[in-house]
Amino acid sequence: MQALKHIHMTLAIITILGFLFRSVLLLKQSPALQKKWLKITPHIIDTLLLASGITLWLTWYGAVSMPWLNFKILMIVAYIAFGIITFKAQGKALRSVAFALAIISFATILYVARTKMLPW
């Protein structure tokens, strides 16, 4: 299970770096953002990230009620949703808000993962 935990953490790093990279391309209005691999890869990484998180939850904690872990999974879904809005929204204002909320969601995930406590 340690290997799965490390895979999960690696996927988390890859997803945020990829999100930031694609966000820079979006800001620059780069045509590179239209490349097929840049459109498909984030979905694969985020799906694997969510699947590894759920697998860890079921394996280690499935029978135990751990609000912090449930909240962390919810925040992963929020991060993915805000990321999608960032790249699909038409207006700059909505994109900016969605980007900020995605970063806040990711930071919250890191906080909860480290402290095993809810942020309130």
Where in the sequence is the domain holding 50, given as residue range(s)? 2-115
Query: Dihedral of CA 12/45/104/70: which sign?
Result: negative
117 vs 66, which has greater pLDDT? 117
In a domain, 53, yes or no: yes
Other Cβ atoms within 10 Å of 61 Cβ, number: 13
In a domain, 102, yes or no: yes
- Structurally, the chain folds into a number of domains equal to 1
- Alpha helices in 28-91, H assignment, sequence order: 36-56, 67-88
Q: How far is residue 30's CA from residue 79's CA, in Å, rounded to a whole number?
A: 23
Q: How far is residue 60's CA from residue 97's CA, in Å, rounded to a whole number?
A: 35
Tens-digit pLDDT profile for residues 1-57: 789 999 999 999 999 999 999 999 999 999 999 999 999 999 899 899 889 988 988
Instruction: State the pLDDT at residue 44.
Output: 95
DSSP, res 66: -
In a domain, 120, yes or no: no
> pLDDT band at residue 82, thresholds of 50, 70 and 90?
very high
Instruction: Reduce the DSSP state of residue 97 to 3 states and report it.
Output: helix
59 has a pLDDT exceeding 80: yes
Instruction: State the pLDDT at residue 56.
Output: 85
64 has a pLDDT exceeding 70: no
Q: List the structure tokens of 41.
A: 């890869």
